[in-house]
Amino acid sequence: MMNITHKISTLRKARAEAIVKLSLPETATAVKEGRVPKGNVFEFARAAGLLAIKKTSDLIPDCHPLPVEYAAIRCRLEGLKIIITVDVHTIYKTGVEVEAMHGASVTALTIYDMLKPLDKEIEIDGIRLIDKKGGKSDYMQYAG
Amino acid sequence: MMNITHKISTLRKARAEAIVKLSLPETATAVKEGRVPKGNVFEFARAAGLLAIKKTSDLIPDCHPLPVEYAAIRCRLEGLKIIITVDVHTIYKTGVEVEAMHGASVTALTIYDMLKPLDKEIEIDGIRLIDKKGGKSDYMQYAG
Amino acid sequence: MMNITHKISTLRKARAEAIVKLSLPETATAVKEGRVPKGNVFEFARAAGLLAIKKTSDLIPDCHPLPVEYAAIRCRLEGLKIIITVDVHTIYKTGVEVEAMHGASVTALTIYDMLKPLDKEIEIDGIRLIDKKGGKSDYMQYAG
Amino acid sequence: MMNITHKISTLRKARAEAIVKLSLPETATAVKEGRVPKGNVFEFARAAGLLAIKKTSDLIPDCHPLPVEYAAIRCRLEGLKIIITVDVHTIYKTGVEVEAMHGASVTALTIYDMLKPLDKEIEIDGIRLIDKKGGKSDYMQYAG
Amino acid sequence: MMNITHKISTLRKARAEAIVKLSLPETATAVKEGRVPKGNVFEFARAAGLLAIKKTSDLIPDCHPLPVEYAAIRCRLEGLKIIITVDVHTIYKTGVEVEAMHGASVTALTIYDMLKPLDKEIEIDGIRLIDKKGGKSDYMQYAG
Amino acid sequence: MMNITHKISTLRKARAEAIVKLSLPETATAVKEGRVPKGNVFEFARAAGLLAIKKTSDLIPDCHPLPVEYAAIRCRLEGLKIIITVDVHTIYKTGVEVEAMHGASVTALTIYDMLKPLDKEIEIDGIRLIDKKGGKSDYMQYAG
């Protein structure tokens, strides 16, 4: 694990995205109309994803435990794709990229798990960091 | 999850209370005389409750992970009631009410679990916040 | 921890109930009309409660880990009360009462946490076992 | 959570795959030659992935806890792609697809975390189920 | 992780022992007389050790999750030594040696943590398996 | 749990050591030559140990959760002994001794678990703190 004892706490932000690709238009319609038997897909998966963000350092050996000071998960349907956007902010000595990506991954897996009785061909089509602020490039002194 | 990146760390305290209601005087006597087969009820449940306080953000999706800097759990018997009082302190940007209530809940459930072989009608009769200091009303700059 | 190596696996069911008591009619209205800023209260809390049911033996020292084979959480609003009903089923050697009660407790705490920005006087007004089947009284051989 | 109390335990297998896409040939060379400063990438990530497989029901609300009776994680480098294959077997009443996919996701995230100091453009390029045996189509009585 | 899908469930037992070596007779006296400020050392550590036994497969990558069907932790003081004995039983396809040793280790660390304000030179002087039954040598068919 | 709200954050370091004692020279040779069927022993156990360091406050009731800002685990073979050295650093109000010892313990147990198919007589021969800096004796103001 990297030694961060000498680093300065700054505001760090990361945004990650995961895409869940459905295979059937009927699945998309069921999501849109709130007719998925396992429940309200986006709201249920959002709860799971928020918990997962906070467990990142419990699962990834070299991740530092850090104070997650803001997290938001948004899901939207575009055709046969569910696009998950996860934002995580902290004021700490290291970034929150892996936290955002782990949150996106667990949100996607929860949606996969809720929809697989309806659609056998769902895939998680990429998890990637789409934005990152703070750290070396974006200094801001710790005010807290 | 609320965005707390802009907030200031202050000393925050919360006290929660849970009440375990026994149905049989014999159960109360067994607790008082240390004759419960599963062990020393208050001391055993105290260990479980302390661990639970620290796991709150692992269970409640919108709770921020935070540095629990003091926690104490006290149990006392009053007639057929076991009264559990949980204190949690932190120096952070958000309060510890849910942490104190979750600690009270798990302490109560551990007591319930230890006593149910003796008494089938035990109930957890309310979990509530009884005191809260810090935050907006009780400002104190972070000195640490 | 009780020795259950000699016991027979049977179908066991438990139902627990927790009551969240609101203080303001406006809070009840916000829940009913889906206008709580933190999200869809019942669906979000349901996800947290289901995860908590499965973590019971992680929190309560003497609880046996067991295969949760069914769990359901239902929330309904009656006046100023939110009534949470949790069902847990297993086919195993010991009951699921504490699992159901722990699920009810974490569902209640998640609701408390989502509503406390709107209503400072919320209490969790009792967590209790309301039904239990299987075990000594209701034998059914393990078919799995 | 689906009610599986009436189902029969059979041997269930699932294989999932995740792909980590590097952007720099130097990163691939560092992995191949064992010169990644954070350690032996595949062996380190394998340990994290195995632990994650077992935590799946802790993270995904509707997943049943189940006896993981075999798990294997293999990683190989093909050009700029690291291909992760995860196998999970159980003898139980429900499948292990989500377990295999969650293991693949955490293995991929651990590799991402180890390599990001070397390569800023790494992506996780798809997590998908590639094989599944058992369940309705492949019956085998529980012999254990 | 070893493939155990083809194995037969039998009763398996393991006993592990850990020794905590105190450096000061005053520490032993404080334990004996119940005057340790942090609480009832043996009962408090017993709760932590029981929870740890059940978390073994969460911490050791190749350990199978398994139904802990009995666990007991006993601590006794002999001169300057605290001897911790941990018994774990299961009816499953693999043994519980690591579970017993992990329980002994966490019980010992909890005692260490409670006594270090009194005694700076405490050591954990060995954790070892002292008995093991079941498995190849001691067959018993699964009756459950 | 000790009240540390009034304490000052300083750089704290702890080093712990655990010794795994093998009984067979063949086991030592298998480790040295990378021929252990369960994988690369030191690298695999290092991942498990790092995760365990971060879970210490989850297992030991009175341990404060704290920001682990550096952790390193080194294993070396000396004759029939595997010597595990664990370093943990934090900038916080309390030390990381128990974190280092818990990391050493889980690293040792993972090695034990990987080698027990080869060697039935392995023991964990002592876990002890070997160095500690910071706290009362070694003051350094929190700069972060």
Residue E10, token pair as written in the block = 């039998």
Q: Do B144 and F64 touch (CB under 8 A)?
A: no
Give residue A26's identity as a one-letter amino acid code. Answer: E
pLDDT at C136: 64
Q: Which residues of A touch D52 (CB under 8 A)?
A: 59
Contact residues for F122 (Cβ-Cβ < 8 A; gap 6+): F20, F21, F22, F23, F27, F112, F115, F116
User: Which pLDDT tens digit goes with each residue over E39-69?
Assistant: 999 999 999 999 999 999 999 999 999 999 9
Q: Do B44 and E43 touch (CB under 8 A)?
A: yes
Q: How far apart are CA C41 and CA C76, in angstroms?
A: 11
Q: Which residues of C touch A39 (CB under 8 A)?
A: 43, 46
Q: How far apart are CA E88 and CA C53, in angstroms?
A: 24
Residue D96's SS3 state is: coil
pLDDT at B121: 93
Residue D4 included in any domain: no
Most E CBs within 10 Å: which of C3, C4, C5, as the mutation test of the E interface?
Answer: C5
Residue C135 confidence class, pLDDT cut points 50, 70, 90? confident
- List of chains touching C (3+ CB pairs within 8 A): A, B, D, E
Range of the domain at E55: 24-134
Secondary structure element (H or E) that encloses residue E116, with its range:
none
A109 touches chain C (CB under 8 A): no
Closest chain D CA to residue F72 = D38
Q: How far apart are CA E54 and CA E65, in angstroms?
A: 9
F43 touches chain D (CB under 8 A): yes
Is D58 annotated in the active site? no
pLDDT at A135: 76
* CB of E28 closer than 8 Å to CB of E79: yes
E-assigned strand segments in E22-142 = 68-78, 81-92, 123-133
Q: Which residues of C touch D8 (CB under 8 A)?
A: 143-144
Taken as a whole, chain F contains a residue count of 144
Q: How far apart are CA C112 and CA C44, in angstroms?
A: 12
Residue C115 included in any domain: yes
Q: Do E144 and C9 touch (CB under 8 A)?
A: yes
Secondary structure element (H or E) that encloses residue C58, with its range:
helix C56-59
- Output the CA–CA distances (angstroms, integers) from residue A48 to A45, C74, D108, F87, in the order listed: 5, 18, 19, 33
pLDDT at C105: 98
User: Which pLDDT tens digit goes with each residue over F52-67?
Assistant: 999 999 999 999 999 9
Q: Give pLDDT < 70 ranges for chain B.
A: 136-144
In what order do the strands lie in the sheet containing E10-21?
E68-78, E81-92, E10-21, E123-133, F123-133, F10-21, F81-92, F70-78
Other Cβ atoms closer than 10 A to D23:
14
* CB of F32 closer than 8 Å to CB of F129: no
Q: What is the mean pLDDT of chain B?
A: 93
Residues pairing with D75 in the sheet? D84
* Three-class secondary structure assignment of chain F: CCCCCCCCCEEEEEEEEEEEECCCHHHHHHHHCCCCCCCCHHHHHHHHHHHHHHCHHHHCCCCCCCCCCEEEEEEEEECCEEEEEEEEEEEECCCCHHHHHHHHHHHHHHHHHHHCCCCCCCEEEEEEEEEEECHHHCCCCCCC
Q: Do A105 and D127 touch (CB under 8 A)?
A: yes
CATH number at residue F98: 3.30.70.640
Residue D1 included in any domain: no
Residue C15 included in any domain: no
Residues pairing with E133 in the sheet? E13
User: Which pLDDT tens digit goes with each residue over D13-72?
Assistant: 999 999 999 999 999 999 999 999 999 999 999 999 999 999 999 999 999 999 999 999
Q: Give pLDDT < 50 ranges for chain A.
A: 138-144
pLDDT at E3: 97
Q: Among candidates B32, B44, B90, which has minimal Cα distance to B63? A: B90
Residue A52's SS3 state is: helix
| Interstrand relation of E81-92 and F10-21 (parallel, antiparallel or unpaired) | unpaired
Active site members of E: 113
Is the model's pLDDT at C140 over the cut of 90? no
pLDDT at E61: 98
Closest chain A CA to residue D16 = A123
Residue with tokens 């209490």: C123
pLDDT at E139: 38
Closest chain C CA to residue D60 = C51
Residue with tokens 């120096």: B91
* C42 or C135, higher pLDDT: C42
Residue E99 included in any domain: yes
* CB of B36 closer than 8 Å to CB of B24: no
Residue with tokens 């509530």: B128
Other Cβ atoms closer than 10 A to D12:
25
Q: Do A126 and D124 touch (CB under 8 A)?
A: yes
Is the model's pLDDT at C2 over the cut of 80? yes
Residue D139 confidence class, pLDDT cut points 50, 70, 90? very low
Residue C141 included in any domain: no
Residues pairing with F87 in the sheet? F15, F72
Q: How far apart are CA C112 and CA A121, in angstroms?
A: 38
Q: Give pLDDT < 50 ranges for chain F.
A: 138-144
Closest chain A CA to residue F12 = A5
Residue E120, token pair as written in the block = 């700076």
B143 touches chain A (CB under 8 A): no
D139 touches chain C (CB under 8 A): no
Of C40, C51, C110, the CB nearest to A43: C40
Give residue F106's identity as a one-letter amino acid code. Answer: V
**Side-chain half-sphere exposure of F1, counting CA atoms within 13 A:** 31
pLDDT at D15: 98
- C-facing residues of E in 65-84 (CB < 8 A) are 65, 67-72
pLDDT at B113: 97
Residue A12, token pair as written in the block = 């760090």
- Output the CA–CA distances (angstroms, integers) from residue A61 to B3, C119, D49, E26, in the order listed: 27, 40, 10, 40
pLDDT at B138: 46
Q: How far apart are CA D75 and CA D83, in angstroms?
A: 6
pLDDT at B136: 64
Closest chain C CA to residue A39 = C43
* CB of A69 closer than 8 Å to CB of B6: no
Q: Do E105 and F109 touch (CB under 8 A)?
A: yes
How many distinct structural domains can be found in chain D?
1
Of F43, F51, F110, the CB nearest to D40: F43
Other Cβ atoms closer than 10 A to A23:
13
pLDDT at F140: 39
Residue with tokens 């595997």: F82
- Active-site residue, selected from the candidate residues F58, F62, F87, F113: F113
Residue B71's SS3 state is: strand
Residue C7 included in any domain: no
Q: Which residues of F touch B69 (CB under 8 A)?
A: 3-5, 64, 93
pLDDT at E136: 64
Other Cβ atoms closer than 10 A to C117:
11
Q: Which of A69-73, A134-138, C50-54, C110-114 has the lowest mean pLDDT?
A: A134-138
Residue F54 included in any domain: yes
Q: Which residues of B touch C47 (CB under 8 A)?
A: 61
Span C48-77, mean pLDDT? 98
- Active-site residue, selected from the candidate residues D113, D119, D131, D138: D113
Other Cβ atoms closer than 10 A to E66:
25
Q: How far apart are CA C64 and CA E71, in angstroms?
A: 9
Rg, chain D, Cα only: 17
Q: Among candidates D43, D55, D104, E61, which has minimal Cα distance to F48? A: E61
pLDDT at B135: 76
Chains D, E: CB contacts within 8 A come to 44
Most A CBs within 10 Å: which of C31, C41, C46, C113, as the mutation test of the A interface?
Answer: C46
F106 touches chain A (CB under 8 A): no
Among residues of chain C, what percentage have pLDDT more than 70? 94
Q: Give pLDDT < 70 ranges for chain E.
A: 136-144
Q: Do A126 and D128 touch (CB under 8 A)?
A: no
